[in-house]
Amino acid sequence: MGKKKLASLLLASVMLLLSACSVNMGGDEPKASEPKTSGTEVKAGAQKVVFWHAMGGATTKVVDQLVDNFNKSQDKIQVEAVYQGTYDDLLSKLKASMGTNEGPTVVQMYEIGSRFMIDSKLIAPMQNFIDQDGWDVGQLEPNISGYYTFDNKLYSMPFNTSNPILYYNKDLFKDAGLDPESPPKTFEELKAAADTISKKGKAVGANFAIYGWFMEQLFANQGAEYVNNGNGRDSLATESLLNSEAGVKVMTWWKDLIDSKAANNLGRKTDDSKKAFSAGQVAMILDSTAALKGLVDGTAGKFEVGTGFLPKPADAKEGGVIVGGASLWMMNNRPDEEQKAAWEFIKFVTSPEQQAFWHINTGYFPITLKAYDQDSVKENLKKFPQFQTAVDQLHNTKLNKATQGAVMGVFPEARQIVEGAIEEVLNNKKAPQAALDDAAKEITSKIQEYNRTVK
Amino acid sequence: MGCYNKIASAVIGRGIGLPSIESVLNVKKTKSRMYKRNILKEHALAYVFLAPSMILFIMFLFYPMLKSVYLSMTITDPRGQVAEFVWFENFAALFKSHQLYSNLSVTLMFILYTVPTSLIWSLFLAAITHNKLRGMKIFQFIFSLPIVISVGTGSIIWFLLFHPTAGMLNYFLSLVHIGPIPWLTDPAWALMSISLMTIWMNMGFLYIVLSSGLQGIPEELYESAKIDGSGPVRTFMRIVLPLLSPTIFFALIVSVIGAFQAFGQIHILTRGGPINSTNVIVYSIYQDAFVNFRFGIGSAQALILFVIILLLTVLQFKVLEKKVHYQ
């Protein structure tokens, strides 16, 4: 009996231990094995539309709510939302479904998948529906629709949009004798501030996750293009410009921060960087605007979160940020009726009311200008004044080829190569110029291989 | 392969189902014709019984194998469809790039870190829990526990332990005034950390296999060794190890093949990074084929891996099996 009791006690304690391990594993990696669907009550004779998306975690609920709002708003169309995992997972699943009848009608795709979607020849440009319907594209935020416009055609409908901002701990700034109301704007100011905080010894000055997206943003912020041929927008890109002056500047600065202990290296996961910031272990981080609500809520009562623009070198050319996030693509292998129904759904989610709801609950920008007139958005900005930074940063950005964003078919892979190069520099394996040269060469060869297979 | 022959000869030696050669020679001709028909029938029956596994093998082994040979000579478009047949271009590109060699050496290091340590560690645990002392069952339970944990769950547990800021391991180190170790973010540490976790994962299975191997050694041998004045170490080295060698050999082969195929922990903990320091060949195949949809180069790597595992396994059987003592 004694043995049995002991064994069951042991088992119970193990289970308790396992259940205690439910720490958040990172917003970029939502774990869900079964696709969740919403809007289960099927209406008789309604046109079914399948919508695949990659909005995990708390955002899934918001997407489901949007879909539910649409399904309840009319009785001719029934949208079924299916969560497919991370953006990368979604892309893999979409590729696997292409050429079969199992795929979606509408699919959400991250911005760096845009070139692939066009080259796949399996999508219908959103512009077709816009023209047929006489829909006014002017209501979209121009800096956002710019990304998804190729040859003056809007290929996909922007859906969730973010950009990177500087988050800083106002208390640590005050503590180190810095002005908590003026965040550093340039690389040089950031270095000075980080140094001061690190020397004070309470926390490390800064941490940037090794995330290729930041590199793309820091290029655009210097007005520099990432690939040739007008950032891949005049014609297919054939060469990576990663090893240009802009890149070397970023890497030299970043390495200097690490070497002088003004910043530390916590690896590739933005979530680890966020965790260290929330715990007060680092004073400044870079992250997407979509992280704002979580950070402000998570640090309530501990310290005040400040937000600033993405830094740039003092002598940088005029630039700005590129919109990140994802957009909605229409697949062209579905019957016309179904595509039309899907278009109705897309129009619905881009309406100011729905965008306001989306914006408040997720932290992504509203994609339509009119959403800012909604009372709920105004109230939200009052409650989270930090959000104004992101909005200002977006509106201050001048749209040119650099800030419109680079396009290349192998973007997801290129991002990994860039992250490898950053690691090589930060770990003293290679000098900035050498690491970027090698990475640029590798990306160029991948681009050319890609161009060889799409004709 | 040697051991299969031995099993086969043992089965045939006992003459299960088959008449012995002498009895066949002694029967009359008419009987032999009937016998031939019987044989034919038996063969047909054998094929019927074999059919399900043959069909499965063809579907999931031989066909994919041939297909990957074909794919290894093509390049695919971003959707993964064959765009061009290029003969051996992929292999040439692989052998020219330093990436393949770096991935192979990472794989080799990973095997060297994990296989001997897991084997010795599990053998050690099995040996010390072999004594029938009170409370030993609890230790046996604890040491075999990792076998019930999937790689995914195990990796997440270790992910939390290794976490750079919230991790328990660094917390324990801070208690003895050692600064935080960049377990997964420093290329010098990452492979070591993954190996540590893998050794723990391997422990469950190897412990059970080796323990049952130990239990197969007759008690009398220990007793007579004791009477002859042999100490525990000598008994272990001279009697237990040789008798355990078939089990150890099996555990070795399985661990080496398992180490070659390690994927889950790498995918969850490091994704091959930092700076490819944990990019084992299986992970690189996954990246190329299923993330970037370049099935050509992925298949080429898979074939190279296949040849390497085949050669190593043959080598292990040819060289090491001579040292194995079958009773």
Q: Using one digit for the tens of pLDDT, what is the confidence trace for A402-445?
A: 888 899 988 988 998 999 999 999 988 899 999 999 999 999 99
Please, which pLDDT band fits residue A25 given cuts at 50, 70 and 90? very low
pLDDT tens figures, A258-269:
999 999 988 888
Contacts of B274 in chain A (CB under 8 A): 210, 267-268, 420, 423, 427
How far is B142 from A345, CA to CA, in rounded Å? 55
Give the model's pLDDT for residue A27.
37
Given this model, what pLDDT does residue A38 score?
A: 47
Structure tokens at B163: 């976490």
pLDDT at A26 over 50: no
pLDDT > 70? residue A36 = no
- Please provide the DSSP assignment of B211-263 as one string: HHHHHTS-HHHHHHHHHTT--HHHHIIIIIHHHHHHHHHHHHHHHHHHHHT--
At A219, is the pLDDT very low, low, confident or very high (cuts 50, 70, 90)? very high
**Do residues A92 and A63 touch, judged by C-beta distance below 8 A?**
no
pLDDT at B290: 83
Comparing CA positions, the residue from B282, B239, B237 lying closest to residue B257 is B282
Position A88, amino acid:
D
Are the beta carbons of B273 and A18 separated by less than 8 Å?
no
**Secondary structure percentages of chain A, helix, strand, coil, to 5:** 50, 15, 35
Return all residues near A125 (Cβ < 8 A) that are at least 6 apart.
A153, A154, A155, A156, A330
Of B137, B157, B185, the CB nearest to A21: B157
A320 contacts A222 by C-beta, under 8 angstroms: no
Size (chain B), residues? 327
Closest CA to A226 of A408, A451, A399: A408
Q: Region A203-211: what's the mean pLDDT? A: 92
Record: contact B274-A427, CB cut-off 8 A = yes
Q: Are A49 and A342 in contact (CB under 8 A)?
A: yes
* Residues of A in Cβ contact (< 8 Å) with B186: 427
- Tell me how far CA of residue B24 lies from CA of A13, B37, B39, in angstroms: 66, 14, 12
- One-letter amino acid at A67 equals V
CA distance A164 to chain B (A): 23
A265: closest CA of chain B, how far (Å): 8
Confidence at residue A170, expressed as pLDDT on a 0 to 100 scale: 93
Write out the E strands in chain B.
74-76, 82-85
- Tell me the average pLDDT of chain A: 86
B293 reaches A (C-beta below 8 A): yes
- Numbers of helices and strands, H then E, in chain A: 20, 13
Q: 3-class SS at A428?
A: coil
Looking only at the bridges linking them, the beta strands covering A324-331 and B74-76 are unpaired
Which range (A85-99, A204-218, B13-27) has the least confidence?
B13-27
The contacts of residue B197 (CB under 8 Å, 6+ apart) are B154, B155, B158, B265, B269
Closest CA–CA distance from residue A410 to any residue of chain B (Å): 8
* For B182, nearest residue in chain A (alpha carbons): A266
Kindly state the tokens that stand for B242.
């040789």
| pLDDT confidence band for A218 (50 / 70 / 90) | very high
Q: What is the signed CA dihedral for B34, B40, B42, B44, rounded to 10 degrees? A: -150
Average pLDDT in the A366-372 region?
89
Residue B239, min C-alpha distance to chain A (Å): 33
Residue A20 has pLDDT above 50, yes or no: no
Q: How far apart are CA B284 and CA B77, in angstroms?
A: 19
Contacts of B67 (CB under 8 A, 6+ apart): none
pLDDT over threshold 90, residue A99: no
Q: How confident is the model at residue A4 (pLDDT cuts 50, 70, 90)?
A: low
Over residues A52-77, the pLDDT tens digits come to 999 987 789 999 999 999 999 998 89
A351 vs chain B: nearest CA distance in angstroms?
Answer: 33
Phi, psi dihedrals of residue A142, rounded to the nearest 5°? -60, -35
Contact B244, B214 (CB under 8 A): yes
Flag residues of chain B having pLDDT under 50. Answer: 1-17
Q: Which amino acid is at B311?
A: L
A9 touching chain B per CB within 8 A: no
| Sole residue written with tokens 């992970």 | B283
A12 has a chain B CB within 8 A of its CB: no
Q: Do B84 and A452 touch (CB under 8 A)?
A: yes
Q: What is the dihedral of CA A363, A368, A370, A373, to 10 degrees?
A: 10
Strands (E), A380-434: none
B157 and A279 within 8 Å at the Cβ level: the answer is no
What's residue B10's pLDDT? 41
**Alpha carbon B285 to chain centroid distance?**
18
Q: What is the predicted pLDDT for the residue at B34?
A: 81
Instruction: Select from A99, A281, A420 the Cβ nearest to the Cβ of B275.
Output: A420
pLDDT at A346 over 50: yes
Most B-contacting residue of A92, A423, A446 (CB-CB within 10 A), to test interface: A423
Question: Tell me, what's the pLDDT at B303?
Answer: 93
The tokens for B255 are: 């661990």
* Cross-strand partners of A83: A53
- Nearest residue to B74 via CA among A442, A449, A120: A449
